[in-house]
Amino acid sequence: MGNKKVTIKDIANVLGITPSAVSKALNNHPRISEKTKVAVEQIAKNLNYQPNHLASALRKGKSNLVGVIVPLTNSNFFSSVVQNIEEVLNKKGYNIIITQSNESYKKECSNIDTLLYTQVDGIIASMANETTKLTHYKKIKSKGVPLILFDRGENDLGVDYIGIDDYKSSQLVIEHLVAQKCKRIAHIAGYSHTRIYKNRIRGYKDALEKNALPIEKELILETSLTLEEGRKKMELLLQLPNRPDAVYVAGDYAALGALQVLKEHNIKVPEEIALVGFSDEPFTSLITPSISTINQHSEQIGKLAAETFLERIEDPNWKPVLNKIILEPELVVRESSDKLGLLKKQ
């Protein structure tokens, strides 16, 4: 109780050996006798020794800490990615520092500064909505710290990236809605400066064309995809003289906002207007009507991001290079777009 910090020096003194021998024993160095290893561990336990990570990290030039930057933590997608990153990295002796940008560019910059300052061995990140400049990310790269981007992170930085095929996701959604006899499909989109949202818009447009449906500018609305923004954009769509009969929303929270507005206007979903979201947040299956959406394989993304980091850090002469891992999206059909009532018939 209350004794000062116990160091390897203290253990060494007790046993009459040197600190370096103790260090080796604790690190299970091969060229140290089994006898002293046992003895050292015994004393360490007795003295309630706790290694000082700071000192060893400083000495080794390696902190065994990995920084994770997410725009938000209270979304199931990001929380699940983080959980899977942690699981993989913990097994390899790494710990993670989670930071959130709150979708703010400024916060993202300061997060990166903090992480570099803390000497993390790598950074796994998904970009804030606000982010358009990439100088702060280039800083990571120029320091030789491995950078792995996921989901909102596809760009020309020339680093590892893991995400799903957003273009194809949109194709799946539109094909599905067309099969449900929808003719006028609106898109509440993310900001097109973010690559993934641009891809979703491209996929949406191309799929419309392929199905001989017209592309109308008034039906494509870019937003930050919050619940509130979903509400606003849906209100706008309802004010159109020629209303859409389906809305594809590039995020589940915004889709929820849109659904609320539809309900308030007593518009039947999916009969009058069908709705599809994006991300497969748990609530999409819990509300009435349940919302059709795209499953982004968050577990996979988390695991792959962590594994990619491990590959990079374990390769002594690794250099950053563009490397995309693109996963297949999965359309989850629920009530909000089941115009033909196929679900009920099952």
Three-state SS at 117: helix
- Binding of a copy of itself at residue 321 (CB under 8 A)? no
Report which of 293, 272, 266 is spatially closest to residue 282, judged by C-alpha positions.
Answer: 293
Build a one-symbol-per-residue string for 29-68: x at contacts with a copy of itself by CB under 8 A, - elsewhere.
Answer: -------------------x-xxxxxx-xx----x-x---
Residue 51 Cβ vs DNA, minimum distance, rounded to whole Å: 4
**Region of 122-130, 215-223, 282-290, 335-343 interacting with a copy of itself (CB under 8 A):** 282-290
Of 61 and 241, CB closest to a copy of itself: 61
Of 21 and 258, CB closest to DNA: 21
Residue 210 Cβ vs a copy of itself, minimum distance, rounded to whole Å: 35
For residues 213 and 241, give the distance between their C-alpha atoms in angstroms, rounded to a whole number: 18
Of 72 and 213, CB closest to a copy of itself: 72
As given in the structure block, the two tokens for residue 191 are 């900001």
- 32 touches, from a copy of itself, DNA, none (C-beta below 5 to 8 Å by class): DNA
Give the number of residues in contact with a copy of itself, rule: CB under 8 A: 47
For residues 177 and 339, give the distance between their C-alpha atoms in angstroms, rounded to a whole number: 9
Of 34 and 314, CB closest to DNA: 34
Three-state SS at 109: helix
For residues 117 and 99, give the distance between their C-alpha atoms in angstroms, rounded to a whole number: 14
Residue 108 Cβ vs DNA, minimum distance, rounded to whole Å: 24
Of 27 and 95, CB closest to a copy of itself: 95
Residue 204 Cβ vs DNA, minimum distance, rounded to whole Å: 50
By the 8 A CB rule, do 275 and 291 touch?
Answer: yes
Using alpha carbons, list the distances in angstroms from residue 115 to 66, 99, 128, 325, 335: 8, 9, 16, 25, 43
Q: At how many degrees (to 10) do helices 195-210 and 166-179 cross?
A: 40
Residue 52 Cβ vs a copy of itself, minimum distance, rounded to whole Å: 6
Residue 197 Cβ vs a copy of itself, minimum distance, rounded to whole Å: 23
Please report how many Cα atoms fall inside a 13 Å half-sphere around the Cα of residue 234, on the Cβ side. 31
By the 8 A CB rule, do 234 and 219 touch?
Answer: no
Of 6 and 238, CB closest to DNA: 6
**Site of interaction with DNA (CB under 7 A):** 5, 7-9, 16-21, 23-24, 26-27, 29, 31-36, 51-52, 55-56, 58-61
- On the 0-12 / 13-18 / 19+ scale of CB atoms within 10 A, 2 is exposed
As given in the structure block, the two tokens for residue 267 are 């518009």
- Binding of a copy of itself at residue 316 (CB under 8 A)? no
E strand or H helix that includes residue 4: none
Name, in order, each residue with C-beta under 8 angstroms of 262's C-beta and a sequence gap of 6 or more: 234, 269, 273, 275
- 19 touches, from a copy of itself, DNA, none (C-beta below 5 to 8 Å by class): DNA
As given in the structure block, the two tokens for residue 95 are 């710990």
Of 34 and 156, CB closest to DNA: 34
Q: Which residue has the tokens 């419309």?
A: 208
For residues 71 and 73, give the distance between their C-alpha atoms in angstroms, rounded to a whole number: 7
**Region of 9-17, 122-130, 256-264, 265-273 interacting with a copy of itself (CB under 8 A):** 256-264
For residues 213 and 174, give the distance between their C-alpha atoms in angstroms, rounded to a whole number: 10
Residue 61 Cβ vs DNA, minimum distance, rounded to whole Å: 6
- 102 touches, from DNA, a copy of itself, none (C-beta below 5 to 8 Å by class): a copy of itself
Q: Which residues bind a copy of itself (CB under 8 A)?
A: 1-2, 48, 50-55, 57-58, 63, 65, 72-76, 79-80, 82-83, 86, 90, 95, 97-100, 102, 110, 114, 116-119, 142-144, 227, 256, 260, 263, 283, 286-288
